[in-house]
Amino acid sequence: MFHDGDVLIVSPTGKQWKLHSLILAQSSPILNKILAAAEPAHLTKKDRDAGKTVFFKLEMVDDSKYRSVDPEGLRYKAFKSVGVNSRALTMPPNINGLGEKATYNEIYDNFFRCMYNLSPEFRQDDDPIARDYIIDCTALLQAADFLDAIPVIRVVVEAHLLRLNQILWHHISEKAENWIHIAAKLHSPLMFRECMIHLVGKYHLENGINQDMLRHSQHGELGAKIWQLIEFKAKELKDKKLKTERHLMEFFPARLAHKDDATSVPGRAIYANDIYFWQALALCRQYFASAFMNGCNYRGADGGLAFYRTVAEGAYLRVDTLDRFHATFEMSSKGKVCLNGSIDLIKNDFKPVVKDLLIDRSQATRGPDTPPFAHFTCTEILDEEFPWYEPPAPTAEYKDDDLDMMGDDGDA
């Protein structure tokens, strides 16, 4: 309630805000349009001497049309003069599925506070998933979005959400569809990357992501850009898996490579010494081929995640498996020890092949008693891939023609 405010805004419950038309107009193009269409009140000198400063009055009115889908649906109305053009505004329904909204008084009180660089007041309690706190943040974003005033609250809302740390990251890991458009509207690199990591990782899983929510027409052009990026990154991940699987079948460990040098030429003895390594390589490739034929690769229900993790951990061709092998291919005790040792070394050589697929770029930490994610978390999003990214304008070359004070003969 600024004593010199020239706009009075009244909510349906009677709460009032006395603000400045200049701040409102600069913050929201929609409010600017409403104020431009409204006829200001005429204040006499007597009014001004009496401390009256209000030129405009905006009244928030409940909109019953949105009552069933949005209990806090509102519209604004400039009504100072009869016949003045008015603009009805209604809050869109909450399509993010984040639950009940805060009351409109709280939403707009926080919105107006942000316009004046005052900290919003979000509810905080002992809820381990910070439900009310998140609802307050997202409701503020939704109100600002509808008023085309997201820049006013962007930094504040992002900062408050990031303060949740692991609570936020675990929310996103479970329902990234609810958060991706919020992250994009906030221009938050951290939140957007986290959403993309989980959406791309779950893309090829059955019922992995809610495509209907992601492709809802209400998201407009921004939603189309995000979906296009998800599809592009999902294909990129699939191609990376195919390349990895081909590499597994074609890979030769460095320990098996022999080349001519100035002093020797590889002969039969050198390759004879490698016989256990070659046996180990053949057995590893047989395991890979069998896994691929059984659908444990990128075509699997988990996208090949369990297979790649098995390779990275070296948890295959273990003693019980080799015992079955030796039932057909007998060896001396020393030979078995040598083959087992060679297999362990070759398996270590294969681990880097799948390393990039198993990078965990997620911010959500997993404790010792928490199972790892059941989807890939290796997706990388570059700055220029953000849907809000704008390439920097080219720098014009500076020419000092106007300061050329030398004549043709070189004299000043």
Tens-digit pLDDT profile for residues 360-378: 999 998 888 888 999 999 9
Residue 201 domain-assigned (yes or no): yes
Q: Is the pLDDT of residue 37 over 70?
A: yes
**Helix runs in 294-398, H state only:** 305-313, 319-328, 333-354
Q: Is the pLDDT of residue 44 over 60?
A: yes
% of residues, the chain, pLDDT over 90: 57
**pTM for this predicted structure:** 0.83
> Is residue 207 domain-shared with residue 98, that is, in the same domain?
no
DSSP letter assigned to residue 403: G
- In three-state secondary structure terms, 74 is strand
Q: Is the pLDDT of residue 336 over 70?
A: yes
Q: Is the pLDDT of residue 152 over 80?
A: yes
> Is residue 280 domain-shared with residue 178, that is, in the same domain?
yes
What span, in angstroms and rounded, lies between the C-alpha atoms of 273 and 276?
A: 8
For residue 123, the enclosing domain spans: 1-159
Sheet of strand 7-10: strand arrangement: 16-19, 7-10, 56-62, 74-78
Residue 282 domain-assigned (yes or no): yes
> Is residue 310 domain-shared with residue 183, that is, in the same domain?
yes
Q: Is the pLDDT of residue 358 over 50?
A: yes
Q: Is the pLDDT of residue 83 over 50?
A: no
Residue 408 domain-assigned (yes or no): yes
> Which of 211-215, 257-261, 282-286, 382-386 shows the lowest mean pLDDT across its residues?
257-261
Last residue of a domain, one of 159, 176, 207: 159
Q: Span 380-385, mean pLDDT?
A: 96
Last residue of a domain, one of 143, 159, 175: 159
pLDDT at 263: 77
- In three-state secondary structure terms, 8 is strand
Q: Are the beta carbons of 221 and 185 closer than 8 angstroms?
A: no
Residue 263 domain-assigned (yes or no): no
> Is residue 148 domain-shared with residue 80, that is, in the same domain?
yes
Residue 70 domain-assigned (yes or no): yes
> Is residue 200 domain-shared with residue 322, that is, in the same domain?
yes
The pair of three-digit structure tokens given for residue 226, joined into one six-digit string: 């995000």
**Tally of domains in the chain:** 2
Q: Are the beta carbons of 387 and 222 closer than 8 angstroms?
A: yes
> Is residue 103 domain-shared with residue 176, that is, in the same domain?
no
Reported as a pLDDT band with limits 50, 70 and 90, residue 398 is: low
Q: Span 10-14, mean pLDDT?
A: 77
> Is residue 34 domain-shared with residue 152, that is, in the same domain?
yes
Tens-digit pLDDT profile for residues 96-145: 333 344 477 888 899 999 999 999 999 887 889 999 899 899 989 988 98
> Is residue 128 domain-shared with residue 212, that is, in the same domain?
no
Residue 379 domain-assigned (yes or no): yes
Q: Is the pLDDT of residue 49 over 90?
A: no
What span, in angstroms and rounded, lies between the C-alpha atoms of 189 and 60?
A: 35
> Which of 37-41, 177-181, 262-266 shows the lowest mean pLDDT across its residues?
262-266
Reported as a pLDDT band with limits 50, 70 and 90, residue 283 is: very high
What span, in angstroms and rounded, lies between the C-alpha atoms of 147 and 356?
A: 43
Q: Span 401-411, mean pLDDT?
A: 57
pLDDT at 151: 96
> Is residue 201 domain-shared with residue 149, that is, in the same domain?
no
Q: Is the pLDDT of residue 296 over 70?
A: yes
Residue 382 domain-assigned (yes or no): yes
pLDDT at 63: 52
> Is residue 345 domain-shared with residue 280, that is, in the same domain?
yes
For residue 16, which phi and psi values (nearest 5 degrees)? -125, 150
Q: Are the beta carbons of 76 and 58 closer than 8 angstroms?
A: yes
> Is residue 249 domain-shared with residue 293, that is, in the same domain?
yes
What span, in angstroms and rounded, lies between the C-alpha atoms of 134 and 164?
A: 9
Q: What mean pLDDT, rounded, does the chain reach?
A: 85
Last residue of a domain, one of 135, 159, 183: 159
> Is residue 150 domain-shared with residue 176, that is, in the same domain?
no
Residue 262 domain-assigned (yes or no): no
Q: Is the pLDDT of residue 242 over 80?
A: yes
- Give the other-Cβ count within 10 Å of 409's Cβ: 5
- In three-state secondary structure terms, 193 is helix
- Give the other-Cβ count within 10 Å of 315's Cβ: 10
